[in-house]
Structure 1
């Protein structure tokens, strides 16, 4: 990859972080983006009925994994893979 292309990609990531206010870290082969820190109560149980339609706007869901504690409480994050439209 050309050096100019790497520079363009880095500037695009910095612009994305500036625009969204997200933090970005790269650890163990993963690039993690996160929005502003949440100070409120944890999300309630059973929120899939709201999340699935939201993510379906981006395309048909291939896989949706809502991360849960062993107690059954929502951890507050999920992983979604969508088919492209």
Structure 2
């Protein structure tokens, strides 16, 4: 088993606030690609943004911390984080 596989983490995140229509998903994708995490982000019908990040502990932590701020126009009220077993995602997608 490689060290990379052993160190892989997954966070399932729900962000509440003014987070839709403010480039939150695009900014999250750009940051995720810069950090090197895999996963996806999407808007939910209830106004929240949902995201999944997979990578090293440091990469996932950086993305969760980013969600507390979001895009420059966002106003984040709360971030809920659920830790889950990694699924081996590859790349980062904006889902609709």
Bin the TM-score by the shorter chain.
Answer: under 0.3
Q: Structure 1-normalised TM-score?
A: 0.26
Pair member with larger Rg = 1
* Higher RCO (C-alpha 8 Å, min separation 6): 2
TM-score by length of 2: 0.24
